[in-house]
């Protein structure tokens, strides 16, 4: 009687979360990467586990400690992230795609260090697969949450992504704002849902942002 635990909001739910940047190799000594540090995605993974979920975290290269009791799968490139996410997708109840996936990868991943040449140079790039868009076209029961990192026209771009990718909620993030974006411990986000709702959150810790996002996910899972 005294040991009865309150049921956790995400008890028994399987959450698939992605975090961090991806790293696209040019040659053995050089790569293309972005400014994502993984803090937001790791905060979501940690909080989801505390809320009772079974969490798989597909992580790009970051320098953060793996959250306790979370199944962490380390990847480097967008192609590797794509493969791992698809592998775990069918099993998931909800997917939260926090990762900053590279939109392009070098067309050639040179086996040997490239040598400098006189004059101008360029690296040919090819597009990567849009993982979230693919999930949106494949989903049956899964709740899908995306992030939109923007520096202008935040609302317009975010809602565009919500529709184009066929997802349930998008977390819009003005990465140019003070106290938001890459590497900070705080964030300023607005949540847009498919039903047209808009929730503007004030500046808060990434842990609290994570709790707000997961509360919405838990609500959407109950409505199914």
Interacting residues with ligand CTP (CB under 6 A): 78, 97, 99, 101, 103, 128, 130-132, 146-149, 161
Cβ of residue 103: shortest distance to ligand CTP, in angstroms? 5
CA gap 156, 197 in Å, rounded = 14
* 147 among annotated binding-site residues: yes
- 127 is a site residue for Ca ion (CB under 5 A): no
CA gap 164, 193 in Å, rounded = 13
Cβ of residue 184: shortest distance to ligand CTP, in angstroms? 17
* 165 among annotated binding-site residues: yes
- Which member of 34, 173, 174, 187 is catalytic? 34
131 binds, among Ca ion, ligand CTP, none (CB under 5 to 8 A by kind): ligand CTP
Taking alpha carbons only, the member of 178, 187, 185 closest to residue 213 is: 187
Cβ of residue 145: shortest distance to ligand CTP, in angstroms? 8
Q: Rank residues 103 and 178 by Cβ distance to Ca ion and give the closer one.
A: 103
CA gap 222, 7 in Å, rounded = 14
Q: What value does the CA radius of gyration of the chain take, rounded to a whole number of Å?
A: 18
* 34 flagged as catalytic: yes
Contacting residue, 103, 178, 185, 200, with Ca ion by CB under 5 A: 103
Cα torsion through 45, 206, 36, 53, rounded to 10: 10
Contact between 134 and 166 (Cβ < 8 Å)? no
Q: Which residues are catalytic?
A: 34
């Amino acid at each position: 009687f005294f040991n009865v635990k309150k049921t956790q909001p995400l008890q028994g739910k399987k959450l698939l979360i992605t975090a961090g940047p991806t790293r696209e190799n040019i040659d053995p000594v050089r790569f293309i990467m972005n400014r994502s540090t993984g803090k937001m995605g790791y905060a979501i993974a940690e909080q989801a586990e505390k809320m009772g979920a079974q969490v798989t975290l597909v992580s790009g290269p970051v320098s953060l400690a793996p959250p306790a009791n979370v199944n962490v799968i380390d990847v480097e490139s967008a192609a590797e992230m794509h493969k791992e996410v698809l592998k775990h997708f069918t099993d998931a109840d909800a997917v939260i795609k926090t990762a900053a996936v590279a939109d392009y990868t070098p067309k050639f991943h040179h086996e040997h260090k490239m040598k400098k040449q006189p004059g101008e140079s360029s690296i040919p790039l090819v597009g990567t697969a849009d993982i979230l868009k693919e999930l949106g076209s494949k989903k049956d029961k899964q709740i899908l949450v995306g992030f939109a990192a923007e520096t202008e026209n935040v609302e317009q771009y975010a809602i565009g992504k919500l529709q184009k990718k066929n997802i349930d909620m998008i977390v819009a993030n003005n990465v140019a704002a003070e106290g938001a974006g890459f590497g900070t411990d705080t964030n300023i986000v607005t949540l847009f849902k498919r039903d047209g709702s808009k929730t503007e959150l004030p500046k808060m810790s990434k842990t609290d942002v994570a709790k707000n996002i997961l509360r919405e996910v838990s609500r959407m899972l109950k409505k199914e």
